[in-house]
Amino acid sequence: MSNYLADYKLINELNNKNMKANLIKWLIFSFVLFVFAGLKHFLLGSSVWDFGIFEQFSWLIANGQINEVSSLRGITPLQDHFSLLLVPIAYIYKILPSGFTLIALQSLALGSLPVLSNILFLKNKTSPKLKLGLFIAISFTPIIFLVNIANFHPEVLSSPFMLLAISKIKRKGNIALLLYLILILSAKKAQVLFGFGLGIYAFLNRRFIKGIAIFSVSSIWWLIASRISSEGGDYLILRLGYLGNSNLDIIFNLITKPWIVFSEAPPSEIFLYSVGLFIPFIFLLGKNSLISFAALIPIYLTNIISSSGSQRELYSQYSISILPFIIVGCWDSIEDKSKWNEESIKIIFNLTLMAVIIGFIGYSRIGYFESRYIPNLSEALEFQKMTYGIEKGFSILTTDKYASRLSNRKLIHSIETNKVNRLNTYDLILLPINPDNNTKEIQKIVKTAKKSGIKCQEQNEFFFTCKK
């Protein structure tokens, strides 16, 4: 009996140590992601579309105005993409009302992926070297780094639930699988593509009942979400409309005349996008990865045939739903590769490191910090000082560059994004002294403001303000 107790204590201690080690890895990786994304945001590198819009959505929901029309977007928060996940996000935002809160949440979600991958899919006979190789590949894939610094999107926060959902396909836990799926779908209407991919993964793994349930829930969600978010526009027709005027036309033309795709999506773009997606993982994939590859087709295919080039950019959120299937595809292959001799495993590991380095250097755009963001340091510091004097209830007219940092209010307009109202509508007009563009529009606003008796003055060398 004492031997059993000793064994139990040892196992418990090992589990606790592993838990602490995993927690530390998660927090360190998340902190690194947060530093880069937070620095870009502080240096005025975030865009009003989508960061500013989602922060205003969060602010509206947090302040009990979920049915209020966003001044930046022109529709209510749920009419955009039926992102129900914004509701719990908004409650956290209410406690810490800052754009950096959204960045922190997104960094924590993405930072969990390497650790969660090991916890969910690691098997006893897996080679430690290959396990480490995959951990490094996930941590340094350009997708995670770029998506995090690019903007904030609710579907990115659902990425850990995607891994959890895939892990439940071959295991018990139908209720848990359904909950994960609903959380994923609630992030954005387009997440139904992940749902279809998950259904394919279930069918190919002979989990037919789960597959039918996944397809049914995803389809019903799509119908409901499409009706509620119709005011936000039909993105499917908007981006795939060149293939036909209806869903059936799009499918028919895609099958019978696939070359039409190249009129909107150049082969070079598709090739570079595909290389960026898979290069960190290429040596860890194998024939056992084919099921996962089939599962990612709905998302991947939609991205490469879209008329919107942003869907073929690794910095966009459209690729984040592909990553969990790639990770699982690697685990399915690693199990077989772990049976190879030590020398072969070492070669795979070294090739993976080389591919990871090439992929990160080639795609991460980390050089943008030196060329685009750090030069804004003086302006960002002056902007930070100036924002302390802006009252929370102020209505503001500004530019995209500043709007992404001031969107935590009911009324804010950007001269690039919105139609400018009568100037006396705004409590504050904040515009750059030496704008990169829209110079004539800014000059016209200043001239009109002075005629209306609104006082305009330079605050520093970077921007001026006009107040009633």
Q: Give the domain ranges of the chain.
A: 2-42+98-366, 376-467
* pLDDT at residue 16, as a whole number: 63
At residue 10 the predicted structure's pLDDT band, cuts being 50, 70 and 90, is very low
Q: Are the C-beta atoms of residues 39 and 373 closer than 8 Å to each other?
A: yes
* pLDDT at residue 433, as a whole number: 86
C-beta neighbour count of 179 within 10 angstroms: 15
Average pLDDT score over residue span 110-133:
89
C-beta neighbour count of 385 within 10 angstroms: 11
Q: Are the C-beta atoms of residues 71 and 60 closer than 8 Å to each other?
A: no
Q: Are the C-beta atoms of residues 407 and 97 closer than 8 Å to each other?
A: no
Q: Which two tokens stand for residue 268?
A: 């070079």
* pLDDT at residue 436, as a whole number: 76
Average pLDDT score over residue span 180-184:
96
Whole-angstrom Cα distance, residue 216 to residue 125?
A: 36
Average pLDDT score over residue span 199-206:
96
Average pLDDT score over residue span 105-125:
90
* pLDDT at residue 363, as a whole number: 93
Residue 391 burial (C-beta neighbours within 10 Å; 0-12, 13-18, 19+): exposed
pLDDT in tens, 45-86: 998 888 999 999 999 999 999 999 999 999 999 998 889 999
The Cα-based distances of 309 to 44, 265, 322, 460 in angstroms read 24, 7, 17, 38
* pLDDT at residue 13, as a whole number: 47
Q: What amino acid occupies position 188?
A: K
To the nearest whole percent, how much of the chain has pLDDT over 90? 60
* pLDDT at residue 253, as a whole number: 82
CA dihedral 451, 453, 458, 463 (to 10 degrees): -70
166 compared with 236, residue with greater pLDDT: 166
Question: pTM of the prediction?
Answer: 0.91
C-beta neighbour count of 182 within 10 angstroms: 15
Average pLDDT score over residue span 383-412:
89
* pLDDT at residue 439, as a whole number: 80
Strand partners of residue 397: 413, 429
* pLDDT at residue 15, as a whole number: 56
* pLDDT at residue 218, as a whole number: 95
Whole-angstrom Cα distance, residue 416 to residue 399?
A: 6
Indicate whether 11 pLDDT > 60. no
Tokens 């996944």 label which residue? 214
Q: What amino acid occupies position 136?
A: I
Q: What amino acid occupies position 148?
A: N
Tokens 């005349």 label which residue? 257
Q: Which two tokens stand for residue 364?
A: 């991460």
| Helix (H) or strand (E) run with residue 457 in it | strand 455-458
* pLDDT at residue 125, as a whole number: 78
Q: What are phi and psi of 155, to 5 degrees?
A: -65, -25
* pLDDT at residue 7, as a whole number: 42
C-beta neighbour count of 453 within 10 angstroms: 8
At residue 464 the predicted structure's pLDDT band, cuts being 50, 70 and 90, is confident
Mean pLDDT of the chain: 89
Indicate whether 29 pLDDT > 90. yes
Q: Which range among 182-186, 214-218, 441-445 shows the weakest confidence by mean pLDDT?
A: 441-445
Percent helix, strand, coil in the chain (nearest 5)? 70, 5, 25
Q: Are the C-beta atoms of residues 174 and 62 closer than 8 Å to each other?
A: no
* pLDDT at residue 14, as a whole number: 43
Average pLDDT score over residue span 424-446:
84
Average pLDDT score over residue span 92-117:
95
C-beta neighbour count of 127 within 10 angstroms: 19
Average pLDDT score over residue span 287-294:
94
